Amino acid sequence: MSADLSILSDRPRVAEMPRARVFNAYLQEMRAECLRYLRNPGFMLPTLLFPTVFYLMFGVFLARPGSEAGRYLLAAYGTFGVMAPGLFGFGVSMAMERENGLLTLKRAMPMPPFAYLAGKMVMAMAVASGVLTLLVLLAVFVAHVPVTGAQIAGLYLSNVPGVLPFCALGLLLGTLVKGQGAPAVINMLYLPMAFLSGLWFPIASLPKAMQSIAPALPSFHLNALALDAVGLVDTQPLPHIALLAGFTVGVSWLAARRLRKVG
């Protein structure tokens, strides 16, 4: 006797989520991620204060008034500051959320698959904007650095989206390390990248062997865009933008492959 499977044809199809609900899901995830990190002083305070204190010491107290050091350090510490939200906001949280099962729960929820990553990217860009705002306020009102409104706008346009390559790198690191070891591993990458990219002092003062490493680092290319924005160098932005975009896409692809394997 053959089984009667006609009932299967009567099963209702799963309706697609309306676009308005999809859009709202993205908005709610972005809001939740931003609030979660704003309420986490262990993340927010070091991220905001570390580059600010460095700039206060070297760009305000030790820099000569009217020299180009103030603008150079504004661009360099701006780059240094926006690296952290991407690396730590993605890397540490991804490693911990994989370990405690939150990422598995997110996958089981009826939400768009990319809402989780979009929320973290918006959070990282928002924190990067906050870091830049603190540095610009110090530069303009305390150090009296001669920067124009157009230069400040250019710095925002280069550095706020410039957090995305470090989001991709943080995402990859978060799939490779465990939660407890993630901060140490990321710091071991974060600080040498800043040093080798000329964020603490001009790259020309480094040994030749170290200078040859810099073009392979995303922080070097982002810093070149920042220096161009404040009028200290005259560079072609498109090659740097293309390299940063390629780095973001390539590392994100590696992270996605790794994430499919390890969950």
For the stretch 154-165, pLDDT in tens is 999 999 999 999
Q: How far apart, in whole angstroms, are the C-alpha atoms of residue 47 and residue 53? A: 11
Quote the Cα angle for 175-127-85, to 5°.
25
Domain-embedded: residue 2: no
Tokens of 193: 């990248």
Tokens of 4: 């009667």
What share of the chain has pLDDT > 70, as a percent? 91
- How many domains does the chain divide into? 1
More confident residue, 68 or 186: 186
Mean pLDDT of 89-116: 80
The predicted-structure confidence for 29-46, as pLDDT tens digits, reads as follows 889 888 888 888 888 888
The CA–CA distances, whole Å, from 73 to 1, 90, 173, 226, 237 equal: 82, 26, 28, 10, 20
The answer to whether 232 and 202 are in contact (CB under 8 A) is no
The answer to whether 214 and 203 are in contact (CB under 8 A) is yes
The range of the structural domain enclosing residue 202 comes to: 20-262
Residue count (the chain): 263
Tokens of 119: 């929320």
Residue 229 has a pLDDT of: 95
Domain-embedded: residue 12: no
Domain-embedded: residue 149: yes
Tokens of 21: 């609900």
Domain-embedded: residue 236: yes
Domain-embedded: residue 1: no
Domain-embedded: residue 4: no
Residue 8, pLDDT above cutoff 50: no
Q: How far apart, in whole angstroms, are the C-alpha atoms of residue 69 and residue 75? A: 10
Q: How far apart, in whole angstroms, are the C-alpha atoms of residue 37 and residue 160? A: 17
The predicted-structure confidence for 193-213, as pLDDT tens digits, reads as follows 999 998 988 888 888 888 899
pTM for the structure as a whole: 0.87
How many other C-beta atoms are found inside a 10 Å radius of the C-beta of residue 127? Answer: 26
Residues 6+ apart with CB under 8 A from 50: 81, 84
Domain-embedded: residue 32: yes
Quote the Cα angle for 241-134-186, to 5°.
60
Domain-embedded: residue 3: no
Residue 263 has a pLDDT of: 61
